Amino acid sequence: MYCNKCGKKLKENSKFCEECGAAIPNKNKSNVKKTLSNIDKKVEEKLPNNLKKNKNLLYIGVIVVVVIVGLFIFTGNGGSSVFGYSENVKKVRAWQSILLEHEGVTLGETMDYALSNAKWSDTTYEGKKAVMLTGVYKDRNVSMKAIFYPDYDETDEFYAYYEEDGDSRTSADVAFRAAEYASDAAESLGRD
């Protein structure tokens, strides 16, 4: 072996050239690097299909989880799941006042039309089973929250609570809002 700098013949296992003092690269280190590189290449040649299958399974798993979470978040809104609304939410959504009935729409259809991000969910209010509706009126950018009793009868009140932008309102206000949007909701559903 000869010095890379001055060309003088080197003694075996020399770390420095006796002529110019240049450091001599360790032959064993470069051999180790070369051997490791060869092993890496051989492993890569043998494993890509297994790695590719595992990566694909991982990607599929992530996609499935995202889809399921998306369905629960975006399908049917809060009180529902991918399987539909609860019975209490269905009762409240199906309710019709005389005005809504005249327009051929339900409370659920009307409020879904009127609100962006309408969210229907089961709750309890004053110790009774109830349904809560939240959202923002599309045309006036006013947030609302309404609570309804699904098991009302002629002696009970259907509307339990209503507020707009955090201010408590009367039950007549939510009935008025529903009636206000009924005609447009019917038109959007092709029932005009």
Exposed, middle or buried: residue 121 (CB in 10 Å: 0-12, 13-18, 19+)?
A: middle
Examine residue 24 and state whether it is found in any structural domain, yes or no: no
Residue 16 in domain: no
In a domain, 132, yes or no: yes
Classify residue 32: in a domain, yes or no. no
User: Residues with Cβ < 8 Å from 8, sequence gap 6 or more?
Assistant: 2, 17, 18, 19, 20
**Which residues, in sequence order, are bridge partners of residue 182?**
none
d(C-alpha 61, C-alpha 50), whole Å? 16
Backbone angles phi, psi at 62, to 5 degrees: -65, -45
Instruction: Return the higher-pLDDT residue of 46 and 106.
Output: 106
Inside any domain, residue 40: no
Q: Which residue, 70, 93, 91, is CA-closest to 81?
A: 70
Is residue 27 domain-resident? Answer: no
3-state SS class at 120? strand
Q: How far apart are CA 19 and CA 8, in angstroms?
A: 7
Dist CA 166 CA 162 (whole Å):
9
Asked if residue 52 has pLDDT above 90, the reply is no
Give the structural domain span for 173.
84-188
Distance CA 132, CA 117 (A): 13
As a whole number, mean pLDDT of residues 38-67 equals: 65
Residue 14 has pLDDT above 90, yes or no: no
Question: Is residue 123, in this structure, part of any structural domain at all?
Answer: yes
What is the structure's pLDDT at 152?
79
For residue 78, what pLDDT is reported? 44
Q: Reply yes or no on whether the pLDDT at 109 is more than 70.
A: yes
Report percent pLDDT > 70 for the chain: 72
- Beta-carbon contacts of 38 under 8 Å, excluding residues fewer than 6 positions away, are none
Whether the pLDDT of residue 69 is over 50: the answer is: yes
Average pLDDT over residues 116-144: 93
Look over the chain and give the mean of its residue pLDDT values, rounded to a whole number.
Answer: 79
- Look up the pTM and report it: 0.56
Residue 145: band (very low, low, confident or very high) from pLDDT cuts 50, 70, 90: very high
Asked if residue 107 belongs to a domain, the reply is yes
Number of domains in the chain: 1
Confidence of residue 146 (pLDDT cuts 50, 70, 90): very high
